[in-house]
Amino acid sequence: METKVCVVGAGPAGLMLGLLLARQGIEVMVMEKHADFLRDFRGDTVHSSTLTLLDRLGLGERMAALGGQRAKQLRMTFDDGTFTIADFTRLPGAHPYLLFVPQWDFLDLLASEAMKYPSFKLYRSTETIGVLRDAVTGAVTGVRARRRVEGDFDINAQLTVACDGRFSTVRESLGLRPKEFGAPMDVLWFRVAREPGDAEGLDLRFGAGGLMIVINRGEYYQCAFVITKGGYDAVVAQGFDRLRDRIAAMTPYLADRLKELSFGAWEGLTWKEVRAREPQGAAGRQRDKWHYLPPGGESYAMLAERVAPAIAELERDTVVVSHGGVARALLALLGHASHGEAPIVDIWQGKILVFSDGQFSWV
């Protein structure tokens, strides 16, 4: 394949570059290894100045149609009170606010806009596995790409641009090493349900040994619990209850929503006890274990729905530490068990469930 410009990666950088080049009539191919843009909690904050730039590109109306949540102020809560530390309404321009909009909606918008230009092409499910180089000069002359069905093929380009994110394959294949600036913190991201009457906007809370950021995302809060760099092992060692207590101490209004979803009223009971206390419920679960919802609890179907976005986001080999329910959800989500089979397959203690090359095994 031949093109003028080959852009690796259809994130905000790659798609925006593709759009800008296509607008100038320059032939450009954007390669994206994923089939879609569905990666959660990333780049969801769109700043006032970015919205102004999008206006200038003629995308203002389409951007407004995406909706999203607007934060007009930034509040911070310390032990001695709550203070407004940023008031975006004082910003100049047509967008005096911070906009939260899912990144996939924004990327879909950029992609569909770019596709209006005949010189733009977006190849999804196309992974760049390395760069091509001129044998004499060493100059980059394109990329080698991989598609699951077609296999490997070359794309020759006059200009190759690496927009493939922080674990860039292009950068690695060129032997370039990024400088580490070492942010002194790690962040635990999670969702908590919102309720009618909850405050709007963005809430930052400082407490002993932590910072909590709570972002209104409509039906749910996107929460960030900031911990010291490398502090995750300590959080795991201290246990989930301790983490929940720390978060609840900083954001008391979320305390009763931080419950781990479980078997609800049946949690801690043996099956004999469940059958004795709730024979109808127990029989209902026997009929459809995947969808059965125990009172106050969560079904396997709901669990799988909760797990799916996190799994879809994984980009490298990953260790997932979880209880057996998640293993069952994964077996179903990855197509290794039907909804009838997943709740009854053997889940082994002291073994690791490995998913690799479309297969699974216990080791």
Ligand X SMILES: Cc1cc2nc3c(=O)[nH]c(=O)nc-3n(C[C@H](O)[C@H](O)[C@H](O)COP(=O)(O)OP(=O)(O)OC[C@H]3O[C@@H](n4cnc5c(N)ncnc54)[C@H](O)[C@@H]3O)c2cc1C
Residues at the contact surface with ligand X, assessed by CB under 6 A: 8-14, 31-34, 41-45, 127-128, 163-165, 169, 189
Give the 3-state secondary structure of residue 330: helix
Q: How far is the CB of 124 from ligand X (least distance, A)?
A: 9
169 residue type, one letter: T
Nearer to ligand X, 19 or 353 (CB): 19
Nearest approach, Cβ of residue 118 and ligand X (Å): 23
Cα 95 to Cα 70: distance, rounded to the nearest angstrom: 10
Phi/psi for 64 (5° steps) reads -60, -35
State in angstroms the smallest separation of the CB of 244 from ligand X.
21
Nearer to ligand X among residue 202 and residue 337 (C-beta): 202
Pick 169 or 216: Cβ nearer ligand X? 169
- C-alpha–C-alpha distance, residues 6 and 163, integer Å: 10
Q: CA–CA separation, 279 vs 195, rounded Å?
A: 33
Report the distance separating Cα 199 and Cα 180, nearest Å: 38
Of the pair 36, 273, the CB lying nearest ligand X is at 36
Integer Cα distance of 217 and 281 in angstroms = 35
d(CA 164, CA 179): 17
Q: How far is the CB of 96 from ligand X (least distance, A)?
A: 18
Q: How far is the CB of 280 from ligand X (least distance, A)?
A: 44
Residue holding tokens 């109306």?
61
Q: Nearest residue by C-beta to ligand X?
A: 11
Of 310, 280, 308, nearest to 295 by C-alpha is 280
Shorter beta-carbon distance to ligand X: residue 163 or 342: 163
Which value, to the nearest 10 degrees, does the dihedral of the CA atoms of residues 299, 305, 310, 314 take?
Answer: 110
Q: Nearer Cβ to ligand X, position 210 or 325?
A: 210
Spell 292-302 as b/e; 16+ CB within 10 A means b: bebeebbbbbe
- Taking the least distance from each CB to ligand X, the nearer of 43 and 96 is 43
Shortest separation between residue 300's beta carbon and ligand X, angstroms = 27
Q: How far is the CB of 34 from ligand X (least distance, A)?
A: 5
